[in-house]
Amino acid sequence: MGSASRKTFLPLDPMSFTNESRAVIDFIADYYKNIEEYPVLSRVEPGYLSATLPESAPYCPESLEDILKDVHDCIVPGLTHWQSPNFFGYFHANASTAGFLGEMLCSGFNVVGFSWISSPAATELESLVMDWMGKLLKLPSSFLFSGTGGGVLHGSTCEAAVCTLAAARDKALKELGGWENITKLVVYASDQTHFTFQKAAKLVGIPPSNFRLIETSFSTGFSMSPEKVRFAIEDDIKSGLVPLFLCATIGTTPSGAVDPIAELGKVAREYKLWLHIDAAYAGSACICPELRHYLDGIELANSISMNPHKWFLTNMDCCCLWIKEPKILVDSLSTDPEILRNNASKFKGVVDYKDWQVALSRRFRALKLWIVIRRHGLANLIYHIRSDISMAKRFEAFVAMDERFEIVVPRKFALVCFRLKPKQEAEGTELNCKLLDAINSGGRAFMTHAVVGGIYVIRCSIGTTLTEEHHVDALWNLIQENAQILLSESIN
């Protein structure tokens, strides 16, 4: 035998792997240590990066040192620092050490669990952790594998929406007897529902004119009125249309409003609509016994989704979707190509997650959520939610005590919608827009806005993992300082 020549190019060399990975971990640790020094909202101008980095890819390999230097010099300035304790925008994307460790393992194994046999642990851990999470939320057993349902991890609520809508659509079309009936199907949501459901409805072929936005108002705290849903459904039935799907939200994106699940569930049952609960943001909070009541009536829903990557210390990306009758989802999304056929799939109860999602390939996300739950335990996860809510209450009290300001929508979770009171209502938007711009451009904190009931509000969303009370206090001082400047300008 001739001596086999060893490869000299080793893209995955266990020796250098350790050193290079450590260098990156040290880099990230430094980033977190210094995170408060960066302006929260990035200050770069569009196109900034092409002015600094080469236009073409290198021919020869470059050192990690050089690359990390570029990350430091060119990438970090173009980041909006979502993990900064002074980030109060959108809904936060909680990160944690446990979430990061889970991501490392997921990426380290780099397995692709599309069918059970392609990585049995990936599938079975996902089913297990979906039941764990479901039990933390006290979901009825009809949503759990240990009962009659099941769950899957997606990357986003948008994917979960597309898949549940496709399942509901196919079930209805089968009953109606043909694809031509798709033009009759109607989807109901409120004007506060996340726009992702409109996108999903379009993607599954629901005519945009069959997407009903039920109007909400101050009088109901922006929650969806079951009566209005009923009227809309009756109207559509009279016009020969077929009500298909109702999306209710726990914790709407603009203001954190909650739709009445139990009452909407009754309407959905009566007219045989698929009821989906979007709990992307506030679902995490329902692990707290005092907040679980927002899920009352969940037994009337067909599916529910929530994002651990928002408020459950789970690094991007992770969306839980539970479904009562997984068979409907699988019937809608399954494919059976020859190259993936295997004996294991024929076993009763074997899950092939490729049939529960849009893509074929999938990440081992379950590791991450499993480690997050194990490393914190329910006790600390509840503590985490409660401490964010208590900081939000503190901020809300600051706003309420200053008569120049007002709370616009009553707070339910850790989102406070407030504004500077205008002298004339017509000036409200401009005044608060200016206030928000002044705060955000200063770099010391970042918030975003919404328009609810025609009113421009500033959203202060509390819940970045590193945020502590003194950050909230500093934010309030900053808001007051900027308001003072604005108000004195408007007098002159």
Ligand X SMILES: *Cc1c(COP(=O)(O)O)cnc(C)c1O
Site residues, ligand X (CB under 6 A): 91, 156-158, 194, 196, 249, 251-253, 278, 280-281, 307, 319
Smaller CB separation from ligand X, 233 or 250: 250
Q: CB of residue 26 vs ligand X: minimum separation in angstroms?
A: 31
Q: CB of residue 435 vs ligand X: minimum separation in angstroms?
A: 24
Smaller CB separation from ligand X, 122 or 280: 280
- Please state the three-class secondary structure of the chain as a single string: CCCCCCCCCCCCCHHHHHHHHHHHHHHHHHHHHCHHHCCCCCCCCCCHHHHCCCCCCCCCCCCHHHHHHHHHHHHHHHCCCCCCCCEECCCCCCCCHHHHHHHHHHHHHCCCCCCHHHCHHHHHHHHHHHHHHHHHCCCCHHHCCCCCCEEEEECCHHHHHHHHHHHHHHHHHHHHCCHHHHHHEEEEEECCCCCHHHHHHHHCCCCHHHEEEECCCHHHCCCCCHHHHHHHHHHHHHCCCEEEEEEEEECCCCCCCECCHHHHHHHHHHCCCEEEEECCCHHHHHHCHHHHHHHCCHHHCCEEEECHHHHCCCCCCCEEEEECCHHHHHHHHCCCCHHHCCCHHHCCCCCCHHHHCCCCCCCCCHHHHHHHHHHHHHHHHHHHHHHHHHHHHHHHHHHHHCCCEEEEECCCCCEEEEEECCCCHHHHHHHHHHHHHHHHHHCCCEEEEEEECCEEEEEEECCCCCCCHHHHHHHHHHHHHHHHHHHHHHHC
Smaller CB separation from ligand X, 94 or 307: 307
Q: CB of residue 216 vs ligand X: minimum separation in angstroms?
A: 14
Smaller CB separation from ligand X, 255 or 302: 255
Q: CB of residue 470 vs ligand X: minimum separation in angstroms?
A: 27
Smaller CB separation from ligand X, 212 or 310: 310
Q: CB of residue 194 vs ligand X: minimum separation in angstroms?
A: 3
Q: CB of residue 36 vs ligand X: minimum separation in angstroms?
A: 25
Q: CB of residue 160 vs ligand X: minimum separation in angstroms?
A: 8
Smaller CB separation from ligand X, 145 or 197: 197
Smaller CB separation from ligand X, 166 or 420: 166
Q: CB of residue 403 vs ligand X: minimum separation in angstroms?
A: 31
Distance CA 65, CA 127 (A): 41
Q: CB of residue 90 vs ligand X: minimum separation in angstroms?
A: 8
Smaller CB separation from ligand X, 259 or 263: 259
Smaller CB separation from ligand X, 173 or 319: 319
